[in-house]
Amino acid sequence: MSQKNVAADLGISQALLSHYENGIRECSLEFVVKVADYYNVTTDYLLGKSKSKYGFTDQLDLSVEMPSDHYPCIATSFRAACALRELLGECDTLPAESRYSTSRLYAISIFRILIYGMMIGKIPPKWINVEGDDDLVEYAQAVEAVVNRILDVPLKRSVMSNRNVDMPACLKTLIDEAQETFADNIRSLERLASAKVNKRK
């Protein structure tokens, strides 16, 4: 972005913006808020009070590893989600199809956890207008049946601009856990398929 274009977008002269940026003049708090909205970052980030552009990690300093980062738990998942939020940036700046896919992935993940909470009796099924246990089981099975179709979004390869970004431990733990879970399920499916073939023989 050029200083000229930014100044025009913010409704001030380029000279005044230059003075603000170089500390020659002090801007109003109203202008700080306007700039934060313009760049879609927090005012704390603009003022140098926070390293987090989007405010998700103010209470979760991801540069410091936590003991829980090394085993899968809710805290690890939450920190990993925050790390991904920082790495992905503001979804509004992504191409429309990527933005839609990212939002869907998060929504579906949370929804599946919600259903799991209902299945183990921690969350009332009425939250999603399901009455009895049988209806809940049927609903959960229906959700599982369509999840793969919903998530069937073509992924486009792009040039990786953050190749030197270290992976947070919480993300590595979740990736390892997910890959192990997938591998276990694939092995189970292979054993089932093999057993069926042997039965036919």
The confidence score (pLDDT) of residue 159 equals 44
What band does 160 get if pLDDT is binned at 50, 70 and 90? very low
CB atoms within 10 A of CB 57: 19
DSSP state, residue 164 = T
Q: 162-183: buried (b, 16+ CB within 10 Å) or exposed (e) per residue?
A: eeeeeebbbbebbeeeeeeeee
Q: Is the pTM of this model over 0.85?
A: no
Residue 25 has pLDDT above 60, yes or no: yes
Render pLDDT for 110-149 as a digit per residue (tens, 0 to 9): 888 888 888 888 888 878 777 777 788 887 777 777 766 6
Beta-carbon count within 10 A of 188 CB: 10
Q: Tell me the average pLDDT of the chain.
A: 77
Asked if 115 and 143 count as a contact pair (C-beta separation under 8 A), the reply is yes
DSSP state for residue 73 in the 8-state scheme: S
Helix ranges, the chain (H): 3-10, 14-21, 29-39, 43-46, 74-88, 96-119, 133-150, 169-200
